[in-house]
Structure 1
Amino acid sequence: MHDSLPDFRMPDDEQVHLAADAFRLLSDPTRIKILWALSQGETSVACLAELVDAAPTAVSQHLSKLRLAGLVRGRRQGTFVYYSAEDAQVQRLLAEALTQGDPVRSGE
């Protein structure tokens, strides 16, 4: 059946594993909130902790994982580190996921 589709292509195993790892990383509600906040602009751990209603130490641990995955970046200014989303692709993915199941937001 797929032979009849001229542009049919399956992702290779590495792509599939990378995508699965990214989805696993994004399966935590606090990380989704953190990424959403960071997609709005740069901010500090203390501000993020307040926004996502979590302890700063927990937010720091989440940020560490997100940074290692290449989803966020940090910028040091004196004794503070300010975080931001790595690119707009993360915001698009989150926006799509957050509108699923919401008929008003998804345009149904």
Structure 2
Amino acid sequence: MSNHADIVAAEGTAPRDRVVEDAAEVFGLLGDPSRLRLLLALRGGERAVGELAADAGLSESAASHALALLRAHRVVASRRDGRRVLTRLDDPHVRDVLDLALAHAGHVAMTHPEHHEHPEHAADGRAGGGR
């Protein structure tokens, strides 16, 4: 992923292709509801894989697989504590994006409630379309 200097240099001009590709990669990682639920659970701090899996409604195997992908992209970091593996958010920019996404979703829900009534936004069976 690009560093902050790349983004600042790109302001006011068309971003370089690599910056755009890196940003799309971040959105791709965050675009999966299971990974997003794991990341949201990590906003409160370091957590064990089993706790994260339970909060996200995933098996431990599925949670571990998703966390491995997020680790590979340096979004989260893990450490051993005895027999447990604890995971935390490792990128403050991702925390900011999560906070903005939640604020945006709340704004859309308040100003456009019909948006959440559309069938494609309720496909996973959760109230509010998984938001």
State the partner residue of 2:80: 76
State the partner residue of 1:44: 48
State the partner residue of 1:90: 94
* Residues 99 and 106, structure 1, Cα contact 8 Å, conserved in 2: no
Residue of 53, 61, 67 corresponding to 1:57: 61
Q: Which runs of 5+ in 1 are unaligned?
A: 1-6
Q: Which runs of 5+ in 2 are unaligned?
A: 1-10, 112-131
Distance 1:105 1:8, change over 3 A: same
Distance 1:24 1:48, change over 3 A: same
* 31-40 or 60-69, larger mean C-alpha shift: 31-40
Q: Secondary structure at the match of 2:43?
A: helix
State the partner residue of 2:34: 30
Kindly report the root-mean-square deviation, in angstroms, between the aligned alpha carbons of the 2 structures: 2.1
Q: Secondary structure at the match of 2:34?
A: helix
1:60: how far off?
0.3
State the partner residue of 2:20: 16
Question: Could you report, residue by residue, the CA deviation over 1:66-85 in whole angstroms, capped at 9, with x for unpaired residues?
Answer: 00010000011222110000
User: Could you tell me the TM-score, scaled by structure 1's length?
Assistant: 0.83
User: Could you tell me the TM-score, scaled by structure 2's length?
Assistant: 0.70
Residue of 76, 96, 103 corresponding to 1:99: 103
1:61: how far off?
0.5
Q: Distance in 1 between matches of 2:67 and 2:105?
A: 28
Instruction: Compare relative contact order (CA 8 Å, sep 6+) and give the higher one, 1 or 2.
Output: 1
